[in-house]
Amino acid sequence: MITKTRCFWVSKDDQENVVRRHVEVDVEALAADHVRIRVSYSSLNYKDALAATGHPGVARQLPIIPGIDAAGTVLDGGDTNFRSGQEVMVVHPLFGTEVNGGYSEVVQVPSSWVRPLPEQLSARDAMAIGTAGFTAAQSVVELERHSIKPDDGPIVVSGATGGVGSCAVKLLSRLGFEVFAVTGKQEQAEWLKNLGASEVIGRSEVNDLTNRPLLSARWAGAIDTVGGGVLTTILRSAKPYSCVTACGLVGGTDLRLTVYPFILRGVTLQGIDAANISEARRGAIWSRIAGDLSFGDLSPLISEIDSNGLDDAIETMLAGKTRGRVVIKM
């Protein structure tokens, strides 16, 4: 019987400084409605990097084990419908933020947080997609829902080297869209084109600082992961009856624009919230990720590390130097 698990522990020292280290912690007794899982893979999201700093808006309590994504094998399903040896993944907005998350060799979570791993996906592939890829797929589904098609014109993706952005570039290109990838890392232009970007453009092209209420109509749709001035510019330069999805705020939370894009061009601004989506919709999107919204070969997106490399990977992400998806072998 497993009584201890090694994990990545974020806590405070006696001087109230946030510290990160690998420790062994006790595995609690299994509650009847919980599932015990041996974690094979997790992933590094920006939310995880913030939790590792003790950011109070993300890590709701300290100490905590971060990791909002996890996939592995059931060790003990208790009184639930999950069986030992079954491959599963953990999906829940509290995981890794309010309760201990996936940066642990063993996790114990309520059965309602556990989802069978789609047969078409390995645990590694599921974590390469993870919350970031799910958010990208959710955004693409919203473009579909607003009847945006490849013939309508180009789709712009901001923050294209990040987790959501790079997944969006790859998925949109596989669906036949002309994709304009926005990045401040021009050294990654070739990598983005290999993912499927038709054009790679700098941030200045989508960060118009003028007060013009409308700009030249360019985009049939957009997946914005940045917010702030970038989102404002994209909305002002969206084509009539386009759809712009928004899921990020690293560029700021203010949205300084008029209503003209909405009432003169019929533009839709669609917020994307991967945390609070209904379980029925979540399941439907994961089924599509395993089917007609497949990302294809994920290897160009992935940097794989083991758990000992987490601290360095977190610092790299906080410095804005990460590209694609970081997968963690636990």
Q: List pLDDT tens digits, range 130-149.
A: 999 999 999 999 999 999 99
The C-alpha atoms of residue 12 and residue 19 are separated, in whole angstroms, by: 6
For residue 67, give the nearest of 58, 56, 78 by alpha carbon: 58
Per-residue pLDDT tens digits for 111-134:
999 999 999 999 999 999 999 999
3-state secondary structure of 41: strand
Q: Rounded mean pLDDT of 151-175? A: 98
Q: Would the pLDDT of 317 be above 80?
A: yes
The C-alpha atoms of residue 117 and residue 115 are separated, in whole angstroms, by 6
Residue-wise pLDDT tens digits, 229-273: 999 999 999 999 999 999 999 999 999 999 999 999 999 999 999
pLDDT digits (tens, 9 = 90+) for 25-56: 999 888 989 999 999 999 999 999 999 999 99
User: In angstroms, what CA-CA distances link 228 with 15, 138, 163, 256?
Assistant: 36, 21, 19, 8
Residue 200 confidence class, pLDDT cut points 50, 70, 90: very high
pLDDT at residue 235 in the model:
98
- pLDDT at position 315 is 97
* Count of other CB atoms within 10 angstroms of residue 246: 22
Q: Closest Cα to residue 284, out of 143, 128, 157, 115?
A: 115
Give 267-309 pLDDT, tens digit per residue.
999 999 998 999 999 999 999 999 999 999 999 999 999 999 9
pLDDT greater than 80 at residue 1: no
pLDDT of residue 3: 86
CA distance 238 to 233: 9
Q: What is the pLDDT of residue 2?
A: 81
Architecture of the 132-271 domain: 3-Layer(aba) Sandwich (3.40)
pLDDT band at 110 (very low <50, low <70, confident <90, very high): very high
pLDDT, mean of residues 79-87 = 96
CATH 3.40.50.720 region(s) of the chain? Answer: 132-271
* pLDDT in the model for residue 257: 96
Residue pair 90/107 in contact (Cβ under 8 Å)? The answer is: yes
Range list for CATH 3.90.180.10 in the chain: 4-117+299-329
Pick the CATH number of 4-117+299-329 from 3.90.1300.10, 3.90.180.10, 3.20.20.70, 3.90.420.10: 3.90.180.10
pLDDT tens-digit series, residues 3-24: 899 999 999 999 999 999 999 9
Q: Please tell me whether residue 128 adopts helix, strand or coil conformation.
A: helix
Tell me the helix, strand and coil percentages in the chain, rounded to 5: 30, 30, 40
What pLDDT, on a 0 to 100 scale, did the predictor assign at position 267?
A: 98
Distance between CA 116 and CA 88 in Å, rounded? 4
Residue 314 has pLDDT above 90, yes or no: yes
How many C-beta atoms surround the C-beta of residue 84 within 10 A?
Answer: 10
pLDDT (0 to 100) of residue 81: 95
User: In the prediction, which pLDDT does 29 show?
Assistant: 85
pTM listed for this prediction = 0.95
Q: Mean pLDDT over all residues of the chain?
A: 96
